[in-house]
Amino acid sequence: MGRAAAIGLTRERVVEAAIALIDDEGLVGFSVRALARRLNVYPAALYWHAGGAKTDLLAEISGALIASLMTPEDLSDDWRETIRILFRRFRARVHEHPHAAPLLGPHIRSNGAPNAPWVEIILKALTEAGFEGQALIDAFNSVVGALEGYITLELAADGATEGSEWVEGFDAGLDALDAARFPLVKRHLPQMYNRSFVMRWKSGDVAPLDDGYNFLIETLILGLEVQAKRGRSREVEPATPATHG
């Protein structure tokens, strides 16, 4: 700890160095020992600043990536535009650190407080849309699921090398698909190849799926509008008079 104090080690510096290490080496090359070597301290010093386990450190990294995406000053008068801004900033931020994308799913759940700023913003937007009670929570989960799920999938591909044996095998498997059994796959494959989930080998950091993401945002907003309207309609429906036989 003496060495850590001497170099001014802080939680923020630990997390910043951890993100830089993941940027350089990927999650495969990330370890507490490797991070300690980069900062020239003992591993115990890192745990002192970022929790008592590696999972705590990964949660801190996940939180740091997205915790400050928006502030109350960024809120639009239109809740729809607030959702659009959040989605665009979230994706832009994660695309700056594509190797860290896999952390979002498993670790975002364990850093609740750091995420409070953007959670508050989502809840405010959805409240303005007309959601309340359990419907508000359901809508919130839908927004967060769409927000994290798309980007995690987009950046999940390994990014194989053009002309490599693996890519040649990937292409051969697609070419060998039976058109009689998979007519739609074969018909749309030219448009889907490396421009859609599943039917690709390029990662989203080199072949981003922009159009699909914008389609997701607008589809989600339209769906939220319908669900909010449906909820309001149920609230004003007159009670069915009881019948007496």
Phi (first) and psi of residue 50, to 5 degrees: -135, 45
Look at residue 133 in the predicted model and tell me its pLDDT: 95
In 3D space, the residue among 72, 152, 170 whose CA is nearest the CA of residue 120 turns out to be 72
State residue 109's pLDDT score: 55
User: How far is the C-alpha of 205 from the C-alpha of 181, rounded, in Å?
Assistant: 33
Residues 197, 123: contact at Cβ < 8 Å? no
96: Cα within 13 Å, side-chain hemisphere:
10
Q: Give the pLDDT of residue 245.
A: 47
Could you tell me the pTM of the whole model?
Answer: 0.83
- Mark 46-58 as b/e (b = at least 16 C-beta within 10 Å): bbbbbbeebebbb
- Whether the pLDDT of residue 1 is over 50: the answer is no
Coil, helix or strand at residue 141: helix
Q: Check residue 114 and give its pLDDT.
A: 66
Q: How many CA atoms lie within 13 A of 168 on its CB side?
A: 3
Q: Provide Rg for the chain, Cα atoms.
A: 23
The one-character DSSP state at 69 is: S
* Size (the chain), residues: 245
196-208 pLDDT, tens digit per residue, is 999 999 999 999 9
Please report, for residues 123, 189, 210, 236, 238, the alpha-carbon distance to residue 79 in angstroms, rounded to integers and kept in the order given. 10, 37, 22, 23, 29
Of 113 and 216, more confident: 216
pLDDT in tens, 43-53: 888 878 776 67
Q: Which tokens belong to 24?
A: 């350089």
Q: What whole-number distance in Å separates Cα of residue 19 and Cα of residue 61? A: 7
* Overall average pLDDT of the 232-237 stretch: 68
Q: Tell me: the pLDDT tens digits for 44-82?
A: 888 787 766 777 788 888 888 877 777 777 788 999 999
Over range 29-37, report the average pLDDT: 90
Task: State the average pLDDT for the chain.
Answer: 86
Lowest model confidence (mean pLDDT) among 4-18, 205-219, 223-237: 4-18
- Residue pair 160/207 in contact by the 8 Å Cβ criterion: no
Kindly report, residue by residue over 133-152, the tens digit of the pLDDT: 999 999 999 999 998 889 98
| Residue 181 predicted with pLDDT over 90 | yes
